Amino acid sequence: MTSSLPLAGAIGSSLKGRNNLILHPNDTHCIYPLGSTIVVKNVERADDQLFLQGHTDRVTCMAITRDGNTLASGQITHMGYLAEIILWDISGLSAETPTDPVLIVRLKLHKVMVQALDFSANGKYLASIGGPDDNNLVIWNVETGAAICGSPAAHDTCLTVKWMNTEEDHLSTGGVKNLRMWRLDPVGRKVRPVDVITSKEVRTYTCMVVSADDQIVYCGTTTGDIIAISSVKKTMINQGPAKGSCPRCGVQSIALVGEQLIVGSGDGELMVMDRHTFVPTMVQSVLGGVTSIAMDSAGEFFFAGTDKSNVYLVQFDGLVAELKTTAHSEPVNDIIFPRSYSDLFATCAGSDIRIWHSGTLSELLRVQVPNQVCNCISFMPKGDAIVSGWNDGKIRSFLPQSGGLQFVINEAHRLTGVGNSSGGVMPSNGVTSICPSNDGKRLISGGADGQVRVWAISKGTQVMIASMKEHKGPVYAIAIKADDTECVSASADGSCITWSLTDAAPFVRINALFAANFFKCVAYHPDESQLITCGTDRKITYWDVMNMSAIRIVDGSETADVNSLHINADGRFFVSGGADKKVNLWNYDEGSKYFEGLGHSGAVNAVRISPDEQRIISVGTEGGIYVWKIPESFTA
C-alpha cells in the first residue's frame, strides 16, 4: 500500500486561463492553479504555501465567494468524460489560528471541460459554463451541491459568465458572437435568456465586469474594444476606446475601480481608462498577455497574472509594476543539482535556463537563447559551468553566477529535420543528452542523430576526440562511472550500449543490452554492479553490468511511459516519474513502491533527489517545478 508523498513547495502558475489569479478578501493570500494543484500562497511570506489537491487534470477556471469562505475550481478531462467542479471550504484562511482548506463536494455535469465559474453576490448560487464540447450554463445550489437547472449557453462557444452585484437571480454570459442576460427562477428550476442587442457590432466576448449599481455590464472583446451594455434595456449603450487607443491583441481581463476601468491586453498592456469615455489615462507594459487582474479590497493595488507565468504587484496610483513571482511557461525538459550542493538547482524549458534557490524557491539567474529549445543541462563537477544541449545541434556552456556565455560547440550533433515532439515529453532534435566526466576534462553528448560523442574540454578549446555511431535512434540518457572508465548510453532504438573511455580500449563498445523498448533513462547503481533503466514499456528494469542480463523487472507505471529515474547516493532508494503524472519513491533492494506524489497535470519529464536527500524535485510538461519532501521514516 503506497502512501502520499508530501508536497513541500511548488514553482509555477497556470495563468493561461482567464481570471485564474485570485486575491483572497483578506488581502494576504493569492490563489492560483499549477497544473492539477491549486496553490494558496501568503503574499507576505513567499515560503508559506498551501496546496489543494483533488483534481485529476489541469485546473481551467476558479471563482471565490465575496466573503472568501468558499472556492470553486473546474478542470479539463479526457474526451468523452465528465469534468469536475470542486467546492472548497477556505474559511480557515481568515481565522486567528488558520486552518487548512477542506474539500466540500464534487460537482459533475459538464463534458470534457469547465470553461468559467462565478458565484452569486451572497454565495448562494454558482454558475458554471462548459467548454466547446458542452457549452451549457448550469446553476448550482452551493449549500446542497445540487444542480438547480441548466441551459445551452450560446449558439456558439461561451467563454465567460458574471453574476450581478445585488440581484441574486440575474447574470450575464458572453462568448463567440453571443452576449446574453439571464434570469434565474429557482422555484420553477428554469434559467431564461435574453439576447443583448449590439446593433451591427459582432464580437467575441472574453471577460466581463458589472458596475456597483448593476446598471452597466462592461465586456472585453478579442478585437480590443470594450462594449458597455445596459442591464435594464439589454442593449449596447457605449463602445470604446477609439481605434488607435485599443489594447492590442484583445482584452483578456477587466476590473472596475470607482469610475475607472483596468484593462489587461493580450500583448502585455495594462491600461486604466475612464469608464464613461473609455479614454486611456495610464498605460503600463508587462511580460506576457494579462489574463488575470486581482484587486485588493481597498482599491490601492492589484496583482496582474500573465500567460508567461509572471505575477506582478501593481500600484493603482501610477501603475507601478513590480515582478513578484516568475516561472516557466513552457514544458520543463530537465533539472540538475550541482554536485554535493543542495541549496540551488537549475532547470531548462524552451529558450530558458534558470537557476533557483532551493529554500526560498526564488529565481537567482536566467539565461536565454532566443528561438531555440534547451533539451538537457548539467553542472560541471566543480560547479564552475552549466553545460547544455540545444535543438539547433549546439552545446553551450554558461557561467553559473553571471550567466555569461563561456563557449559554444557548433554542430555538436547533426540535425535530423524533426522538431520537438508534441507536448515536449522528449526532445527529438539536436543535442538530446549531456554528461560531464567526473574529472571535468571531458564532456559526453548524445544526439537525435544516434551518435555518442566525447569532447575534450580545456580552457579556451573544445575538441571532439571520439564519435561512436551504433545507435539507430535518439540518445536520451548517458551515465558515467565514477572513475570515468566507462559510460552507458540509452537510446530510443531499444538498446543501451556500454562504451570504454580508457586509452587501453578507446571509445569502443564493451557491451550492450536490447529490449522491445524506447529507453528514456539509464543510471548506475552507486556500487556500479547494476544498471537501472526505464522507457515506453512502462517497466523499471535492473540489469547486471557484466553480462547485461535482466535481474529484476518491476511495473514502473500501469498506464504510461516512465521518463526519468534517479538513485540516491548509497543506493537504498530511487525516484521515478513518467507520463502518468506521478512521482514515485521506491526501495531499491525490494523493488517496492512506498510513496506516490500527485500534483502534475502533464507528463513528468525529469526527477532528481537533492544531494542532502531531504527533497525530490520533479518537472513536467505543464511548466511546473514541484518540491517533494522525502519522509524521514523512509530515509532513516
End position of a domain, from candidates 176, 195, 214: 195
Per residue in 585-631, pLDDT tens?
999 999 999 999 988 988 999 999 999 999 999 999 999 999 999 99
End position of a domain, from candidates 178, 195, 212: 195
Query: If 0-12 CB within 10 Å is exposed, 13-18 middle and 19+ buried, where does residue 516 land?
Result: exposed
62 falls within a domain: yes
Residue 422: its pLDDT value, please? 38
Q: What is the mean pLDDT of the chain?
A: 91
Per residue in 363-400, pLDDT tens?
999 999 999 999 999 999 999 999 999 999 999 999 99
Which CATH number fits the domain that encloses residue 463?
Answer: 2.130.10.10
240 falls within a domain: no
pLDDT range class, residue 504, cuts 50, 70, 90 = confident
- The rounded percent of the chain whose pLDDT value lies above 70 is 97
pLDDT range class, residue 44, cuts 50, 70, 90 = confident
How large is the average pLDDT for residues 348-367?
A: 93
In a shared domain, residues 507 and 360? yes
223 falls within a domain: no
Residue 614 structural domain: 332-635
Distances (CA, A) of 441 to 377, 480, 560, 635: 17, 13, 38, 34
Lowest mean pLDDT among 80-94, 193-207, 320-334, 412-426: 412-426
Coil, strand or helix: which one is 243? helix
Per residue in 527-563, pLDDT tens?
999 999 999 999 999 999 999 999 999 999 988 999 9
Residue 114: its pLDDT value, please? 95
pLDDT range class, residue 45, cuts 50, 70, 90 = confident
288 falls within a domain: no
Residue 421: its pLDDT value, please? 43
How large is the average pLDDT for residues 454-481?
A: 92
Residue 251 has pLDDT above 80, yes or no: yes
Residue 459 has pLDDT above 90, yes or no: no
pLDDT range class, residue 423, cuts 50, 70, 90 = very low
End position of a domain, from candidates 161, 195, 229: 195
29 falls within a domain: no
How large is the average pLDDT for residues 222-247?
A: 89
236 falls within a domain: no
First to last CA, the chain: 20
Total domains, the chain? 2
Residue 335: its pLDDT value, please? 96
- In this structure, the dihedral spanned by the alpha carbons of residues 101, 107, 112 and 116, taken in order and rounded to 10 degrees, is -70
Residue 427: its pLDDT value, please? 52
Residue 419 has pLDDT above 70, yes or no: no
Per residue in 121-147, pLDDT tens?
999 999 999 999 998 999 999 999 999
Strand-pair partners of 276: none
More confident residue, 94 or 64: 64
pLDDT range class, residue 10, cuts 50, 70, 90 = very high
33 falls within a domain: no
Strand-pair partners of 111: 82
98 falls within a domain: yes
